[in-house]
Structure 1
Amino acid sequence: MFKYVYRNDKLDEPVFRLFRGGVPTVEQLRAAAVDDAVTDELVALIRRLDESGALAELRRLAGGPPPGQPLGYAGPAFFHHWTDNDMVITGPGGGILIDVHTAIATNKTAQSRLWVWKLLTSAWLDTADAYRVRTVGLYFARQGALVTWPVDELADILLEGGDRDAAREEFRALAERLRTQEHPPRVTGPLKPGRHTIAVTAVVMNDRGRVLVARRRDTGRWKVPGGVLGLDEPIPAGLRRTVEEKTGVVVEPERLTGVYQDVGLGIVALVFRAHIADGEPAPTHASAAVDWWPADRVGTELGQVFAVNVRDALVAGQVAVRLHDGASLLSEEAALLAS
């Protein structure tokens, strides 16, 4: 149901509304199912996962975390959401990328080869090594069978002695060309959305004067933490939620330091100076890494817009109001021309 909502932008679906007020109970989720057959099959598949020993193997691969602790990440995104994978187990020796299949029969050679090649190429597409995938595998849910291979060994098997590194680089180059053809760079002018999106960002400093930053799992890019404000979500709550999703810490906003309008993408970002109220920065489902950077490094590596966000947050005074095109600051006149 969530996949349907995501792909069709049906934000009025009942299952989506369940989460507007918080996290629903199991009973509320089950009541949203179309009929009992849906949940009965899921219960049977979960029982098979446990009874077959596959769940115990997944826990072993994850390093044996205590009950109740997550084993990894669901729905990992590779190469700007081109590939649709199921989960990454975060093991002590690196990530294990696993795709789940509910096929009744697994003896169709052509289909099986596609499954295995997809695993290998998904690992290759993680060019930023955000998930540290060192092993890939298939889990056949109806049979309760889990099969895994080290990435390099699988590449050698599939390439039948070919040059693994050359094949990987050739594939990545091909994928980049195809993506460029599908989504060419914006060269004729900015996008013109029908309405603006509101984003919130927190500039958090430690006692050494360094800025909290996080590296996104989907793109591999470092960002000052924050995100898009939800519909009907209070601004302070949205700031706390998005920063916690990116860094694992709960922050409290101190003051609004700047309002920044991206005239190309139609995004208005509200930037706050904030401090950590609870928790320690750590990787999350959304961020592969979290770090503290000197303010000048933010400007050098993240670009002019983020540099100004941080600079404005460090200077006490009036709230800054600035326009930009995603890369450079613009005057009001230049922004009118760009739009």
Structure 2
Amino acid sequence: MLGCSATLFDATRSKLLLTRRTDNGRWCLPGGAFDPGESVSEACVREVFEETGLIVEVVRLLGVYSNPHRMIRYADGNQYHIVSLNFEVALVGGELGLSNETTEVGYFSEAEIATMDIIDPHAERLATIWANEPGITIA
């Protein structure tokens, strides 16, 4: 299954947008699975809007995450190996809010995020985001 996540910094580039999921109460970058017929940019933009109400544009690819040991099991019993693309995005418009997929949204610093219950695959992405190394992470 192909998925995506979005890295949206605040204006100072010192905080990142995170959402708290309704299904497990844990924090993550906005994102999700691709719909049939979507480009990678379209999926990322749609997922951010659905989860946060914000309109964004994709700036660049930050990483490709395909660890075969990170299997996702859904409540219906289906299990998937997810390959996820993490993009840096820029804010274009919209209004920050909640959705049926989120119970909280906000911008958080690296220190604040270190104390939060982050879903495991996104904790790995956050570490590479804060490292701010040049190039694309392949993991």
TM-score (norm 2): 0.80
Aligned residue among 41, 44, 55 for 1:236: 41
Structure 2 unaligned blocks of 5 or more? 72-80
Is the 1:299–1:307 Cα contact (8 Å) retained in structure 2? Answer: no
- Structure 1 residues not aligned, in runs of 5+: 1-196, 323-339
> Which amino acid letter does the alignment assign opposite residue 318 of structure 1?
G
Q: 1:289 & 1:303 partners in 2: Cα distance?
A: 15
What corresponds to 2:138 in structure 1? Answer: 321
Structure with the higher strand share, 1 or 2: 2
Q: Over residues 304-334 of structure 1, what are the superposed CA-to-partner deviations in whole Å (9 max), with x where a residue is unaligned?
A: 6424413433525111101xxxxxxxxxxxx
Please say if 1:204 is aligned against 2:8: yes
Per-residue CA distance 1:251-309 (angstroms, 9 max, x = gap): 11111011111313111110011111111211112211111111233344216642441
- Cα offsets for 1:155-177 (capped at 9, x unmatched): xxxxxxxxxxxxxxxxxxxxxxx
* Percentage of matched positions with identical amino acids: 26
Tell me how far apart the structure 1 counterparts of residues 35 and 20 of structure 2 sit (CA, whole Å): 22
**Correspondence for 1:295 among 110, 117, 124:** 110
Say if 2:62 and 2:135, in contact at 8 Å, map to a contact too: yes
Structure with greater helix share of residues: 1
Q: How does 1:213-292 map to 2 (within 5 A)?
A: 213-264=18-69, 265=71, 266-292=81-107
The number of aligned residues is 126
Amino acid across the alignment from 1:309:
R
**1:295–1:307: 8 Å Cα contact kept in structure 2?**
no
Specify which structure has the bigger relative contact order, considering alpha-carbon pairs within 8 angstroms and separated by 6 or more residues.
Answer: 2
Letter in 1 for 2:89: A
| Helix, strand or coil at the partner of 1:262 | coil
C-alpha separation between the residues in 2 aligned to 1:316 and 1:254?
A: 16
Classify the secondary structure of the residue corresponding to 1:233: coil
Question: Structure 1's 242 and 236: CA in aligned 2 closer, same or farther, altered over 3 A?
Answer: same
| Structure of higher CA gyration radius | 1
